[in-house]
Amino acid sequence: MKQLTGFIPVAALPESTPASAKQRLIETIEWFYKEGAATETNLKLLTAIVESILCSEESYTRFLRCGFDAAIEFFDTNSQNWEFEESMSSPHNPRNWDEYKQLQH
């Protein structure tokens, strides 16, 4: 699919636990370094995000909305060659995640 769209396909995501979430964050930071995206600004932003979501419920809600917008855009781009039904029912589609559904209500 990368050859068709220029994007990496959505990978299967493991079940989320506190330990796996921490490991994925570490892996994401390592990936930033590997891809050359671990700039001082990006790492400061990542730190600010983590600090802000611990600060208040309003900050956390804004973080979720922004994150879901980015996740939906990324998913839509990467699944553009999928069948419509497959895309809409995919567990990788952020619109199907319980947290997204709760945020919409």
Both tokens of 29, joined, read 């930071």
pLDDT given at position 49 = 86
pLDDT given at position 21 = 79
Both tokens of 55, joined, read 């600060």
Q: Cα–Cα–Cα angle for 80, 77, 61, nearest 5°?
A: 130
pLDDT at 4 > cutoff 60 = no
CB atoms within 10 A of CB 93: 19
Mean pLDDT of the 67-89 span = 93
pLDDT given at position 5 = 44
Q: Enter the pTM of the model.
A: 0.65
pLDDT at 36 > cutoff 70 = yes
Q: What is the mean pLDDT of the chain?
A: 83
List phi, psi (to 5°) of 54: -85, -15
Q: Would you kindly state where each structural domain of the chain is located, as residue ranges?
A: 17-55, 57-105
- H/E element holding 13? none
Mean pLDDT of the 99-105 span = 89
pLDDT at 45 > cutoff 50 = yes
Instruction: Please indicate whether residue 7 or residue 84 has the higher confidence score (pLDDT).
Output: 84
